[in-house]
Amino acid sequence: MSIPPRTPADLLRSALEQDPGRPLVTFYDDATGERVELSVATFANWTSKTANLLQDELATEPGDRLALLLPAHWLTAVWLLACSSAGVVADVQGDPSASSIVVSGPDSLEAARGCGGERVALSLLPLGARFPQPPEGFLDYAAEVPGQGDQFMPYTPIAPGDPFIVPPGGQSALTGGEAVERALADAESLGLGPGSRVLSLRPYDSWEGISGGLLAPLAVGGSVVLVRNSASPDAAALRKRAEDERVTHTID
């Protein structure tokens, strides 16, 4: 008898066992024209590599706090699941000075310098490309992650009662189990189920954005289409994208 998923990392493992080839995260950046589609297997591979980077290269331990200063992006989704896998607490849009590690996009580098620990920067260029010139004082994620292992095993088992995420604006962390419970409740309220495909225009600046744009679809066997830099989208264009991507639900 299989054990029901209990943490976000468990949800990903369950999806990988059930149907590794189905789409999980599709990402659009309307400012650059980028479109990236990641199957469950590809997403899980990126997650494993990132978790290995955390555990082995950055020497994090379960309970360490990571300030995650990234927008709604497929790589942000990867980092969230990598944190769950390694037991690192993802403080989304949190204070770098109160964290032992910071992960930053190109627009938040100055704020990220407030972290006294390890600093990792992402260019957020198409295809996960490197910075043309790495920011001083930061590891370039795109240069570091390819050499990491494709499989991840935590040195210490991560339990559902361990802290997982501090949502934007939150004062305390949700455990992995609490995050899954809330994601399942959100999925029910949104009418999501197996095979649901969610088009999300929400930024990752609230629990609602993170849940609707990643965790709730993942919790019920669905998938997500993330859209960045889509200010006041044209209704006809949005409708066409929903049709092209076979979207079942749209949240904004």
pLDDT (tens digit, 0 to 9) for every residue of the chain, 252 residues total? Answer: 345 669 999 999 999 999 999 999 999 999 888 999 999 999 999 999 999 999 999 999 999 999 999 999 999 999 999 999 999 999 999 999 999 999 999 999 999 999 999 999 999 999 889 999 999 999 999 999 999 999 999 999 999 999 999 999 877 999 999 999 999 999 999 999 999 999 999 999 999 999 999 999 999 999 999 999 886 667 788 889 999 999 999 998
Domain housing 170: 8-251
CB 93 within 8 A of CB 56: no
Q: What angle do CA 97, 147, 140 make, to 5 degrees?
A: 35
Interatomic CA distance for residues 250 and 199, integer angstroms: 5
What is the model's pTM? 0.96
pLDDT of 3: 52
Specify the CATH number for the domain of residue 143: 3.40.50.12780
Is residue 2 a part of any domain in this protein?
no
Interatomic CA distance for residues 216 and 100, integer angstroms: 28
- Token pair, residue 116, equals 């006294």
pLDDT of 86: 98
Q: How far is CA 26 from CA 66, 123, 237, in A?
A: 25, 19, 17
Cα Rg of the chain (Å, integer): 17
Is residue 1 a part of any domain in this protein?
no
Is residue 140 a part of any domain in this protein?
yes
Domain count, the chain: 1
